[in-house]
Structure 1
Amino acid sequence: MPGSIPQGTGGVPPRTRKPILTAGAAAAATVLAVGFAPAATAATVPDLPDPAAITEIGYTLPADFIEVAADPGTDLSGWTVGSVTRGGSVQAADYLVTLPEGTQVGESGALAVEVQITNSVNSGAAADGSYGASAFVIDAEGTLHDFQQIGGVAGGRGVTGAAGGQTPAAVVGVEASPTGAVAASGESIQLVDGSWTSAAPTPGTLPGGPGAEPTEPPVEPGEVTAIAEIQGTGEESPLQGQTVTTRGVVTAAYPTGGLNGYFIQTPGTGGEEEREASDGIFVYSSATVNDVQTGQYVEVTGQVSEYYGQTQITVAAGGASVLDEAVEAPKPVASFPLTDEEREALEGMLLQPEDVFTVSDNYQANQYGELLLALGEEPLRQPTDVAPPLSDEALAVEAENAEREVILDDGSSWNYMNNSQAQGTPFPYLYPEASPRVGAQVSFTSPVVLGYGFDAWRFQPLEQLTGDNAEAAQPVLIEDTRQDAPLEVPGRITLASFNVLNYFITTGDQLDGCQYYNDREGNPVTVRGGCDARGAANAESFERQQAKIVEAINRMDTSVLSLEEIENSSRFDLDRDAALAQLVEALNEHAGEERWDYIRSPEQLPENDDVIRTAFIYQPAEVAPLGDSAAQIDDAFHNARAPLAQAFAPLDASGEPEEENAFLAIVNHFKSKGSGSGPGNEDTGDGQGASNADRVAQATALVSFAEELREELGTESVYLLGDFNSYTEEDPMQVFYEAGYHNIGQELTDKSTYVFSGRTGSLDHILALEGPARDAVQGADIWQINSVEAVAYEYSRYNYNVAELYAPDPFRASDHDPLIVGLFDGTEPGPSPEPTEPEPTTPAPTEPEPTTDPTEPEPTTDPTEPEPTTPAPTEPEPTTPAPTEPTTDPTEPEPTTDPTEPGTGIQVDVTSGHPGDPITVTGLEEYEGEELRGQFNSDPVDLGTATVDGGAVRFTVPEIDAGEHTFTVFQGETVVFSTPFEVLADDAPAEPALSVAPERVTPEAFVDPEQGVRATASGFTAGESVTFTVVPDGSDVTGLSETVEVNAEGVAEFVIYGDNPANPAVYVGSYTVGVEGTDLSASFEVAEDADPGQPGSGDGDGGSGSGGDNGSGGGGGSSLPRTGAELAGLGAGLALIAAGAAALCVSRRQNG
C-alpha cells in the first residue's frame, strides 16, 4: 500500500500542539492526555501484577489507546506498549510504541498510551466478544508484564503471540489472558474490581477510581473567571486541575452522538477583533447537556483539564445554570489561520470561514462522519508525487500539507461501522444523490465551532449532524465534480490502464475457510482472509461488483485496456483466463454487441504465479494483436505480478493491421507499499513505503524485458502501463525516466489516480518510450471515478448503513482511476468508414473492493460524493456524416475520423520558447471561429482563450520557470491538442521553427490579399534577417523568395497570395515554404475542395499579433499592416511571372 512522509519524519517539523501527557507524566509524543479531571491526591494502584499492568483498552474511539497502571512516579522509559492481531502477530510498526526517556506515571496512577489496536478488532472480528486482538506491555529489559486479549476465546484457546513481522520476542509463544469484554461504540474495556467491562473511557485515570466525572455535589460557584483566562495564551490551560466558574453563551450543544457536552463563548466576542487567547471552551457534562440550549447565557462550575489536546471544563449535575441577563451574541470569525498558534487563539469559538476549502479525503466519512479539508483550491499532494523523496521540495510539500489540513466533523463520536444506532441512521455528508469527492470545493453556509481532538483541528457543526437533519444542520455546500464519461482524447485509437479491484469470479462461499467483512445485518459482503479468494463473498455481491466495473469499462470505450488485480483462475483449478473471459462476456452483453476480446495467456508462466494477475482486453474492430503474448519470468517479480507483453497494430480502412504503426504494450502490477522484507525493503519513512528496493529491481528488470522484446519485434514503439505502486518521482520511476520513457499522465494531465492518507498522487502510469511511441501520443485523460470517491459507494460497503449508497454506475468501481492515452494523429485512415449509431453508455454504479492485499490497510479514499441519478439511456445522434464522394485524388483513402473529432492534422510551430514568445497551433480548421483555451499543465498556468482564425490560434509562453512543461489546448474541458514544451531561460536559444496556416486553401481565398496563406518563422534572433522561399510543386506558378527582419519576439511572418485573381484555378497545387540556411520547411495546398473562407491572416479585429503595431497575445487572428509598396508589388526580382502563368505575392508583416 502507498505510504506518505509522516509528520516529523525526514526533516519535516512535526506539528507542535498541546503536549500529549497524563498529569504528572514526562513529555512523550505517544502518551494520551487526561480526558477527565485528575485526582486531587495520589492514587493507589489496585492489586495488580507488579510493577505495572494494563487497566484499560480503547479501540472504538477515533484514537486507540492502552492504559498502563503503576505506582505514581514509576519510570516507564524504554517500555514497549503494543497490540497483536487475533493471529498473534504485530502487523507493522504502527502497532508498537516505545516510551521515550523520562516517561513516568503521574499522580493519577495511570498512563494512557496512544497506539493503534490491530484492525482485527476494528473490522469487527471481535464484535461478538468471541475472539479478538490483544494488548501487551513490556519493560525496557524485554520482560512481558501483561498480555490482555479483547473478547473471549475460540476453540478453547486465546490469542498466542506468533513470530514474524514486528512481534517482540517476549510475546512469542505466550497466550494472552482473555478479558471476555468487548467495548460498545464510544466506550473502552476497563478492569474494575478485578473484572473487565465496557464503560465510558477514562484514559489516564484508573477505572472506577478518582478522576471520573464527579458524583459528589459540585463545588459552590466562586468568583467568575473569564474564558480567555482559563484558555490562556499557550497550548495548555494554565488552570489545569483547578475548579473554576465561568460564563458564556451556548454556541453548540451535543446531547446526542456521544460528545456529551456543549461549547460556550464570551458574549460579544469573535468577528474581526484581535485576540491572544480564545474566548470559547468546551463543557463536558452529560449531566447538564440536556438542560441547556444554543443561544442561552449560562454559568458553569467545574474542573479544567485537557482532553486529546482540547481544553475543557468537566461539570457535574447542578454545576450549570441558565442566566436571565441579556447579552450580545458571539460573532463568527470569518477566516481560518494557517498556524497552530493562531488557531489556538480560536479554539472553541464560532467560525464561518470565507476561505476556499477543498475536500482532500473522505475515507473516514462512513466510519466517523469526517471529511478532511485542505485550505485552498487544491487537495493535499503526496510529496513524492511532486518531487524526489526527502528533497527540499518534497519536505516543503508535506510541511504545507500540515498547515492546510483541517477536519470537517459531524458533532459526534459515533463509529458507523460497529454502532447499531449509527448504522440505523443515515450518514452525514454521504447521500445517494450527492457525494463529496476529493478535489471538490467546499463553502461554508453557516457557522461551525473550531475544536481540537486526536491530533487534528476540527470544524464541528452546531449540533450532531446526520443524514436526517442535513438540510438544517449541515454547515457546508460541496461542489459536484462527477463526470459521466472521460474527456475525449484526440487520436485514432486509445490505450488505457485500469485496476479492477480484486475482480474474482471465485467467491468466498465456494471455498473452505474464508472469513468475511459483513454488512450491518451480519451478511457476508467481501472476503477478509482465510482463503485465496480476495473479492466478493457470494454471487450477489459479485454481481454488484461486476456491474460497476462493466459500466466503467464500456463508458471508457478504449481500443486496448490493460487490467490489474483480476483473478488468476488457474489458482482455483480453472483455465487461467476464466475470469478474464467472463468479464469480456459481461462487457459484450452490456454493450449489446461483440465489442471486446481478450489476449490469451502465454504458454510459459512463472512457477509461483500470483493469485491476482495482469491482462489485456481490446476491441477487434479497432486494433489487431500481433503474435502471442509473453510473460516476464524473472526472480525480481517473486512478490509481484508477472508483466504481460503483447504487440498491437491499429486497423486501416479495409480492416487490415497497419504493421508500420505496430506497438508493444506491457502491463504491470508492482509490489505494494504495505509490507516488505530483505535489505532496502523496510519503510524508512521517506514516503516511498515498504519494498522500495524490490520495486526498483522490478523496474530495472522490466526495462530489460522491454528492450529484448523490442529488438525481437523490430519496433521502436513501446508502452509500459499499469499499477506501478510508485508515485511519480519515486526511485522506481526514475529507472524508467533514465531509460528514455516519458510519463504521459504527468506530462499531459494535471490529475492523479490515487488518494492515500488524504494525499493525492499517481500510482498508475502509462510510459512511452522516446521516439515513435512518444510521438504517436496525441492526448491523455485520467477519469477520476474511483480514488476521489468515498469507499462507502463501493460494492464492498453494500448495506452498511440504512441509507443505501450503492448504485450500478461507474463511481467507486475500484480505488484506482483509469488513465487513457490517445495514439496516432488521425490523418491515417482508420476503421469503420461507414457512419454507425453509437451505443448508449448509461452508467451503472457499483462499489469496488479495496485493491490491497488482505494484510494491508484499506485504501484511504472516503466516499463523500453524492450518488448520481442514472438517466434513462438515450440513443445519441450519430455524429459521423454520411459518406460523400471524395474530391481528392480517388486513389487516396478517405479519412474515417469524424470531421468534428479533435486532433486531426493539428500541429504546433514551436516546441520550445522563452516567456513572452508566441506559440501558433495550426490545423484547427474545424474549430474556425471558436474560442479555445490554452494551458501549461505542469503548474497549471491558464493562458486564456483565443479565437481560431484561418485554422490557427496563437498563445504566448507564460512567465514560468524554465524546464519541461506540457502545452495543451482545450475546447471547453475537451483536450484538442497537447505536446511537451520546453520553456527556455532568458539566455537559452529558442528552437527555430516554421509553420503555415492554413495548410489547405481554396483558389478564390488564395488570390485574396486579405486571406492567402500565412508563413511564420520563430526562434530566431531579434533584428536578424531571414529569407523565406516558396517553391511550387509541379505547377505553372513561379516561386519566390522574401527577406524579412525578425521582430523583438524572435518571429518573422509574411502572407503568400496569388496575383492573378482573374484565373485563380492556375494556383491549384502544393507548395513548399522554407527558410534559407536551415532545414526548416512547411507545405500548403491550394485545392478546389478546401474548406472555403478560412483566411490565412485576416484583417479583422480579432488580432493575435506577436509584436509590432498591433500588439501581441492570445487573439485568434492577426491584422497584418501593409505598406503601399507591399500592396503594389513584390519588389524587384521577388516574383517573376512565367509566360501564361501567375505570380505569387508577398504581404510582409511590420515587425517593428
Structure 2
Amino acid sequence: MLFFRALLAACLIFPGTSSALAATPPCGDRFTPIHAVQGSGARSPLEGKLVTVEGILTLDSRNPGEFQGFYLQQADNETDDDPDTSEALFVYTRRSAGSPGKRLRVTGRVREFHGLTELADINSLRVCQDAPMPRPVTLSAQDPGRFEAFENMRVDVPAAMTVLDTRNLARYGEVTLGSTDTIVPTEYLPPGPSAARKLASIHNGQLVLDDGRAVRQPRPIPWLGDPGHGRATLRSGDTLQDLGGILDFRFKRWRLQPIGTPNLARTNPRYPPPARPPGEKTVRVVALNLNNFFNGDGQGGGFPTARGARSESELQKQQKRLVTALGQSDGDILAVTELENDGYGANSAINQLGHALGPAWDFVRTPGRDGSDAIRTALLYRADRVVPTGRPQRLTSGPFRDWGRPPVTQSFRRLGGQPSVRIVVVHFKSKSCRHAEGADRDQNDGQGCFAHRRTREAKAVTAWLDDLPPETDTSGTLVTGDFNSYSRETPLTVFRERGYRNEVAHRHPCKPEDCDHYTYRFRGLKGSLDHALVSPGLKARVIGTATWLINADEPPALGYRGVAADRVDGPWRSSDHNPVITDLRL
C-alpha cells in the first residue's frame, strides 16, 4: 500500500511520469508507414504531427562530429506502389539504441529541417529485431527530378560519376559530381535565354559526395591521399565508380552519404606542357593569371598583404610553383595578370619574380602610373631570345582611367630576326557581383555581373590599338591575358567583329559534350576566361595555341594558401587559372 501511495504522489508532482512509465507499444503494433509521412511532395503532409514509424536503420550518424541521428527505411515488403513517395526518414536523436540492420520502432514529431523531412523530438525508441537491409534503388544523376522521391533512401549509382568541383574538399569534406563533365554554356552558346536555361539545368543535375560529417575542416581530408606519392589526389574530370549510400538533402543540395568507398578512376591525368615546335624561328608567348603574386615588403617581411600570400613561407611556396610552371612552359614572353602593383624597384613583386625565373629574364617598364588597382598586368621576357622594339604603352583612359587594370603593350622581335609582333596583356573586370549596379548587374543571360563594363573595356582596347602609331616591319598583334569572359560572350564578340581570331576557341572549340582546352573552373563548370586573340595579319604566323591543364582541375586545398600545400610538388596548382600557350613563327 505504501508503494502505491508513493507512486500516486509521484504522478501528482511529476505529471509526465505516468506516460514515461507507461509501457511502450510493442513492435509490430499499429504504426504510420514512412511513405505516408513523406508524401509525394517536397514537404510532408504530416508536418508537425506526432507519429510512430517502424523501419530498418540503414546508416548511423550519431558519432561525434556527424549529423546526430540515423536513417530509417521501410522494409521492402511494407512499401507502397507510389513511385513519388520516399520510403525513408532521417531520425534526429542522440539516443544510442540500435545499429545498422536493426528494425526500430520510433515515435517523434515530423519536421521539415531546411528541406529535409525528418523525425525530431523523439520520445520513444525501441529496438525490435535484426532485419534484412532494404534493397537500394537505382539513382540516375541525369534525372534530378526523381531525387525527392528517394530522399533518405539507400541508393546505388551504377553509372560512373565525374568529379566537377573540389573547392569544399578541405573545408567540408565534399566534392561535387555530375553524370558528365560540365561546360560553361557561353563557351558554345551566345549570351541569352538559352544559355541561362542551360546553366540552370546543369546545376540541377549535380550531386554532392559528402563525408558524413557535419564539421568544418574535417581531418583527415578525404581523397587527398598521402604526401610523397606523386599523383596522390583526385582532380576535377576524374570519375568515381561503384557509388552507393544514402541520398540526403542538406545545405540546399542533394548529397550522397556514402556506404563503402567508391573507386576512383584517373580519367583526367596530368599531362606535360605542349611541345615546342621544332626550328629556331619561333616565339612562344605564355599568358598566366598569377593568383595574386604579392611579395610583402620584398625583404621577407610586410605580411600579410592585401592579397596573396599571408606569410613569407606561403610566398616561397607560391613562387616555387610559379617558377616551375613558367619554366616548364618554356616561354619567351610572359603575359601575366594579378601581379602586385608596387612599381619596378628592387623590392617590387615583378623584380622578385623576374629574378626567381633566372638571369636571362627581364621585364617591361611602363612610363607613368600603372593604374590604381592593387594588381596589374605585366610583360616579362627572355632577353637571350627576344628583344623589345619601340616604346611600351599603357591604356589609362576611358574605363581604365579611375579603376580597373590598365592593359600594357610592347612589341618584340626574335633576337637576330624579323619581323616584330605586338603583345598586349589585358585583365578585364571580374564576374563577381559585388558593387554591381544598373547595367552591370547580372542580366540573366549567362554572362554574370559586369558584362557591360567588360564590353566597354573590350571596345576601349580595340580603339586604342587602332590609334597607336603604326610600326614598321610588324607582323600583327596578339592580345592575351584574363578577359574574365567565356568564348561566346560579348567582350570576345567585340574583338571578333574587329577581325581578331580567338586561337584557342578556333583550334580547340568547346562543344556541349566536349571541351579539352580551358583555363578555369567555377562551381563545377569549366571554360576559358583567358584567351589568345590575333589580328588578321598575324593569323598565318600562328603555329599553335593550347592550354596546359595544371591548375584549374587541382583541389584548391593544394594551392599555396591551402591546408594541403605541402602534399604536391611541381607546377600543379601554381595558380587557379591554366596558362594559355601560343607559338608564333617570326
The CA distance in 2 between the partners of 1:330 and 1:740, in whole Å, is: 63
Partner of 1:776: 541
Alpha-carbon deviation of 1:411?
0.8
Deviation at 1:341? 4.1
Tell me what 2:340 maps to: 567
1:488 aligned partner: 275
In terms of fraction of residues, the more helix-rich structure is 2
Q: 2:169 aligns with which of 345, 365, 370?
A: 365
- SS of the residue 1:233 aligns to: coil
> Is structure 2 residue 57 aligned with structure 1 residue 250?
yes
Shift of 1:219: 9.9
Residue 507 of structure 1, CA deviation: 5.1
Q: How does 1:640-655 map to 2 (within 5 A)?
A: 640-651=404-415
Q: CA deviation at 1:708?
A: 3.0
Which residue is equivalent to 2:151?
347
Secondary structure of the 1:225 match is coil
The match for 1:449 is: 246
Is it true that 1:229 corresponds to 2:229 in the alignment?
A: no
Q: Counterpart of 1:751?
A: 517
Question: Residues of 1 paired with 2:300 and 2:388: CA distance?
Answer: 35
2:451 aligned to which of 692, 710, 717: 692
Aligned residue for 1:348, secondary structure, equals coil
Q: Aligned pair in 2 of structure 1 residues 320, 639: CA closer, same or farther (>3 Å)?
A: same
Q: CA deviation at 1:562?
A: 0.7
CA distance in 2, matches of 1:743, 1:216: 75
Match of 1:542 among 305, 315, 325: 315
SS in 2 for 1:816: coil
1:730-769 deviation digits (Å, cap 9, x = unpaired): 2211111111111112122332111222222221111111
Residue type of the partner of 2:67?
A: L
**Deviation string for 1:933-965 (max 9, x for gaps)?**
xxxxxxxxxxxxxxxxxxxxxxxxxxxxxxxxx
In 2 relative to 1, CA 576–766 (structure 1 residues): closer, same or farther, beyond 3 Å?
farther
Residue number among 229, 238, 257 corresponding to 1:440 in the alignment: 238
Matches within 5 A, 1:383-462: 383-392=185-194, 394-416=195-217, 422=218, 425-431=219-225, 432=227, 433=229, 434-445=232-243, 447-462=244-259
Matching of residues 969-1118 of structure 1 within 5 Å: none
Task: Judge conservation of contact 1:363–1:790 (CA < 8 Å) in 2.
Answer: yes
1:269–1:449: structure 2 CA closer, same or farther, 3 Å change rule?
farther
Distance 1:427 1:270 in 2: 39
Matches within 5 A, 1:606-685: 608-637=371-400, 638-651=402-415, 656-659=416-419, 662-674=420-432, 675-676=434-435, 680-685=439-444
User: Is residue 753–residue 816 contact of structure 1 (8 Å, CA) maintained in 2?
Assistant: yes
Aligned mate of 1:587, from 348, 357, 363: 357
Q: Is the alpha carbon distance of 1:507 and 1:387 closer, same or farther for their aligned partners in structure 2, counting shifts above 3 Å?
A: farther
- CA 1:509–1:299 in structure 2 vs 1: closer, same or farther (change >3 Å)? farther
- 1:793 correspondence with 2:558: yes
| Whole-Å separation in 1 of the counterparts to 2:431 and 2:148 | 36
**2:531 equivalent among 753, 758, 765:** 765
Q: Which amino acid in 2 is paired with 1:298?
A: L
Q: Is the 8 A contact 1:259 1:412 kept in 2?
A: yes
1:851-866 alignment runs, 5 A limit:
none
Shift of residue 775 of structure 1?
1.6
* Pair 1:349–1:218, CA change in 2 (3 A): farther
The reply on whether 1:497 has 2:287 as its aligned counterpart is yes
The answer as to whether partners of 1:385 and 1:728 remain within 8 angstroms in 2 is yes
Residues 976-1031 of structure 1 deviation map (CA, whole Å, 9 limit, x = unaligned): xxxxxxxxxxxxxxxxxxxxxxxxxxxxxxxxxxxxxxxxxxxxxxxxxxxxxxxx
Structure 1 residue 547, shift from structure 2 partner = 1.0
Deviation at 1:220, TM superposition (A): 4.4
- Does the alignment pair 1:820 with 2:581? yes
Per-residue CA shift, 1:29-52, capped at 9, x if unaligned? xxxxxxxxxxxxxxxxxxxxxxxx
1:426 Cα deviation from its structure 2 partner? 1.1
Question: Quick one: distance in 2 between partners of 1:226 and 1:349?
Answer: 14
Say if 1:401 and 1:269 are closer, same or farther in 2 by CA, change over 3 A: farther
Distance 1:710 1:218 in 2: 95
Is the contact made by 1:710 and 1:716 (CA closer than 8 Å) also made in structure 2? Answer: no
1:87 maps to none
Out of 77, 84, 91, the residue aligned to residue 276 of structure 1 is: 84
Is 1:601 matched up with 2:362?
Answer: no
Give, in whole Å, the separation in 2 of the partners of 1:728 and 1:699.
13
Residue 370 of structure 1 aligns with an amino acid whose one-letter code is E
> What SS does structure 2 have at the residue aligned with 1:774?
helix
Aligned residues of 1:745 and 1:780 also touching (Cα < 8 A):
yes
Distance between the aligned counterparts of 1:487 and 1:598, measured in 2? 24
**Gap runs ≥5 in structure 1:** 1-214, 417-421, 463-472, 515-525, 528-532, 589-593, 829-1152
Matches within 5 A, 1:909-988: none
Residue number in structure 1 paired with 2:127:
322
- Length-normalised TM-score, structure 2: 0.86
What do you get for the CA RMSD once the two structures are aligned?
A: 2.9
Show the counterpart of 1:300: 106
Question: Which residue of structure 1 aligns with residue 11 of structure 2?
Answer: none
Q: What is the CA–CA distance in structure 2 between the aligned matches of 1:502 and 1:459, rounded to whole Å? A: 35
- In the aligned structure 1, how far is the partner of 2:92 from the partner of 2:437? 50
In the alignment, the residues of structure 1 paired with residue 441 and residue 40 of structure 2 have an alpha-carbon distance, to the nearest angstrom, of 42
Give per-residue Cα distances to partners, 1:579-622, cap 9 Å, x unaligned: 2222122122xxxxx4x42233122445x443322112223444
| Range with greater deviation from structure 2 (694-703 or 804-813) | 804-813
Q: Equivalents in 1 of 2:471, 2:542: separation in Å?
A: 23
1:726 aligns with 2:485: yes
State the 1:498 CA deviation: 0.4
Q: Deviations over 1:287-317 (max 9, x none)?
A: x2x3322222222221111111111112536
Q: Is the 8 A contact 1:544 1:808 kept in 2?
A: no
Q: Which amino acid aligns with 2:238?
A: A
Q: TM-score normalized by structure 1?
A: 0.45
**Residues of 2 paired with 1:625 and 1:270: CA distance?**
80
User: For residues 37 and 530 of structure 2, what CA distance do their matches in structure 1 show?
Assistant: 51
Structure 1: distance between partners of 2:23 and 2:442: 53
Instruction: Please state whether the residue corresponding to 1:720 is helix, strand or coil.
Output: strand
CA distance in structure 1 between the partners assigned to 2:39 and 2:21 by the alignment: 28
The letter for the 1-side match of 2:418 is E
State which of 530, 552, 568 in structure 2 corresponds to 1:807.
568
Structure with higher RCO (Cα < 8 A, 6+ apart): 2
SS at match of 1:569: coil
Q: What is the total number of aligned residue pairs between the two structures?
A: 547
Task: Choose 1 or 2 for highest CA Rg.
Answer: 1
On the 8 A contact 2:144/2:205 being kept in 1, the answer is: no
Between the aligned partners of 1:313 and 1:453, the Cα distance in structure 2 is 15
* Distance across 1 between alignment mates of 2:167 and 2:145: 28
Corresponding letter in the other structure for 2:524: G
Kept in 1, the 8 Å contact 2:72–2:90? The answer is yes
Amino acid at match of 2:126: S
**What letter corresponds to residue 536 of structure 1 in structure 2?**
A
